[in-house]
């Protein structure tokens, strides 16, 4: 995988970054993103988060006030879950063609797509960290099955690379979301 700043022509068309993806990389990302979408879809069905990963993806906004916490969940949860599903879907939709073609492809990212990728990848890392049992800074996790740590670190590298192209596209400080 390689993440680069686009050519001037592509920038004019609204592209902020280009990700060169190998089919095997795309396959892993599509699989993870599909699992994340399924996990989030379950959260819509069940109002109680019995999965610790869900509690991290959708934290309590008022940990010390059950009444306000309930109200906030009622008003915000559905929208948040839908948007998070959307982030993951952007990833899997863009990468499904690379899996299908079976050859490396350059995937152009618009500003919105790049923001979806950054957040979708972040959510994937939160779930993987939970599955690995990472609870404190510098933690290697308790349940690290071989290879999972590599995927976790690879996702961090990918997220950082996309943040870097976003910083080129949105120079200076104070670009409010």
Partner 1 sequence: MAPALDELLDEQLIEQPVHAAEVPWTIVVWNDPVNLMTYVSWVFRRHFGVDAPAAERLMMQVHTEGRATLAHGNREHMERHVEAMHEYGLWATVEKAPR
80 binds partner 1 (CB under 8 A): yes
Site for partner 1 in 12-51 (CB under 8 A): none
142 binds partner 1 (CB under 8 A): no
Q: Which of 135, 143, 150, 168 binds partner 1 (CB under 8 A)?
A: 135
CA 140 to chain centre: 21
The span of 10-18, 23-31, 62-70, 90-98 binding partner 1 (CB under 8 A) equals 62-70
Q: Which of 11, 38, 44, 156 binds partner 1 (CB under 8 A)?
A: 156
Q: How far apart are CA 33 and CA 118, in angstroms?
A: 13
Got the DSSP string for 62-99? -TT-HHHHHHHHHHHHHHHHHHHHHHHHHHHHHHHHHH
What is the phi-psi region of residue 81: left when phi exceeds 0, alpha when psi lies from -120 to 50, beta otherwise? alpha
Q: How far apart are CA 65 and CA 62, in angstroms?
A: 5
In the complex, the smallest distance separating the C-beta of residue 145 from partner 1, rounded to whole angstroms, is 17
Question: How does 139-170 read in b/e, with b if 16+ C-beta sit within 10 Å?
Answer: eebeebeeeeeeebebbeebbebbeebbeebe
Site for partner 1 in 92-121 (CB under 8 A): 118-119
In the complex, the smallest distance separating the C-beta of residue 123 from partner 1, rounded to whole angstroms, is 6
The span of 4-12, 19-27, 55-63, 105-113 binding partner 1 (CB under 8 A) equals 55-63
Other residues' Cβ atoms within 10 Å of the Cβ of residue 103 = 8
Instruction: Please identify, using beta-carbon distances, which residue of 2 and 83 lies nearer to partner 1.
Output: 83
Binding interface with partner 1 (CB under 8 A) = 56-64, 68, 72, 76, 79-80, 83-84, 87, 118-119, 122-123, 125-126, 129, 134-139, 156, 159-160, 163, 166-167, 170, 173-177
């Amino acid at each position: 995988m390689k993440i680069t700043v686009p050519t001037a022509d592509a920038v004019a068309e609204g592209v902020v970054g280009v990700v060169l993806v190998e089919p095997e990389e795309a396959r892993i990302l599509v699989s993870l993103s599909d699992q994340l979408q399924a996990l989030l879809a379950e959260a819509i069905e069940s109002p109680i988060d019995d999965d610790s990963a869900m509690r991290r993806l959708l934290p309590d906004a008022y940990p010390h006030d059950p009444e306000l916490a309930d109200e906030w969940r009622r008003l915000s949860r559905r929208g948040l879950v839908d948007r998070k599903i959307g982030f993951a879907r952007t990833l899997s939709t863009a990468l499904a063609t690379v899996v299908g073609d079976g050859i490396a492809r350059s995937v152009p990212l618009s500003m919105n797509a790049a923001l979806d990728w950054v957040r979708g990848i972040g959510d994937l890392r939160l779930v993987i960290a939970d599955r690995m049992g990472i609870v404190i800074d510098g933690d290697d996790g308790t349940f690290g099955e071989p290879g999972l740590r590599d995927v976790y670190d690879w996702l961090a590298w990918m997220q950082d690379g996309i943040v870097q192209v976003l910083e080129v596209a949105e120079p200076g400080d104070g670009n409010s979301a």
